[in-house]
Amino acid sequence: MAHAEPDALAVAGHLADRCADVIGAATRSVILHGSLATGEFRPGRSDIDLLTVIDGGLSDAQVAALDTLVRRADVRGASGVDLHVVTADVAGAPTRTPPMELHVGRYDGSCVGVEVESHVAAAPDLPAELSMARAEGRALIGADPRDVVAPVPAAWVRQRGRHWLTTWLAHTDDAEDAAHMVLTACRIWHFAVEGRHSGKPTAARWALRRDGSLTAVRQALHQYAADPAAPIDEAGIAKVLDTVLRETA
């Protein structure tokens, strides 16, 4: 386990190099963000988050090549890969629902498996991705994140977070996604109050300091950090979501 983070970093570097090979001279930057960039990577629980900023768009052949790259990657200690590709124009002037060249999400061990979206006209979750990459990311190839990703209004990130909180209230019985819902709710809450992004464990501990009665947060943190089979109380999930909706209103 001690070597899991260096192994994952090596995988991230290899993926960045291969992305640049596929895209060529149009590659402006390949940015690592998420838990592997912030030091909160958990073997078997955390994925590798990459944002690739390019000049111009992707061809269908490049989309296919990047899809294959993510599917076939040996991710070692990571739980998967989350790759986003956007144009420099989009990253440099974000809108509320910007276009996106490509998203390939590989979620090992989940019912989703691999999710692919290409040439998306409007991607409402992308501003949060851009905001996190700018705030916490580091360039594996090319320009620094702050040189290619412009600031994203915090209100956009908060509002999209509240959209997901409301959506998840109808899915509190989803045991597979329970820890993700609870811990991401903590991240949404932390960002809304303090205006900065944080990893799941940090946000969970912050939420418990705010309200120690949120037992589902403690359960989700235990599942995430120690025991993937540990249960999370459905009513407790609803309480977390309701609390964060109220506190971020």
pLDDT of residue 45: 87
| Same structural domain, 125 and 222 | no
| Same structural domain, 54 and 87 | yes
| Same structural domain, 142 and 188 | no
Q: Residue type at 243?
A: T
| Same structural domain, 234 and 111 | no
Tell me how many degrees the CA angle 106-44-27 measures, rounded to the nearest 5: 45
| Same structural domain, 144 and 158 | no
Last residue of a domain, one of 103, 129, 148: 148
Domain carrying residue 56: 4-148
- How far apart, in whole angstroms, are the C-alpha atoms of residue 208 and residue 38? 21
| Same structural domain, 20 and 108 | yes
> Across-strand partners of 43?
none
Q: What is the CATH number of the domain that holds 89?
A: 3.30.460
Last residue of a domain, one of 148, 179, 211: 148
The total number of structural domains that make up the chain: 2
| Same structural domain, 45 and 164 | no
The tokens of 205 are what?
């501990």
| Same structural domain, 137 and 183 | no
- The answer to whether 165 touches 244, Cβ cutoff 8 Å, is yes
pLDDT of residue 4: 58
Last residue of a domain, one of 102, 132, 148: 148
From edge to edge, which strands make up the β-sheet containing 48-54? 113-120, 100-107, 80-87, 48-54, 27-33, 138-142
CB-based burial, 200-222: b 16+ in 10 Å, e otherwise: bbbbbebbbeeeeebebbbbbbe
- How far apart, in whole angstroms, are the C-alpha atoms of residue 98 and residue 125? 9
| Same structural domain, 71 and 91 | yes
Name which of 192, 171, 184 is nearest 220 in CA terms: 184
pLDDT of residue 207: 98
- How far apart, in whole angstroms, are the C-alpha atoms of residue 44 and residue 73? 15
| Same structural domain, 159 and 120 | no
Question: One digit per residue, pLDDT tens: the chain, 249 residues?
Answer: 344 588 999 999 999 999 999 999 999 999 999 999 998 898 888 999 999 999 999 999 999 999 999 999 999 889 999 999 999 999 999 999 999 999 999 999 888 899 999 999 999 999 999 999 999 999 999 999 999 999 999 999 999 999 999 999 999 999 999 999 999 999 999 999 999 999 999 999 999 999 999 999 999 999 998 999 999 999 999 999 999 999 999
| Same structural domain, 123 and 161 | no
- How far apart, in whole angstroms, are the C-alpha atoms of residue 21 and residue 2? 30
| Same structural domain, 102 and 41 | yes
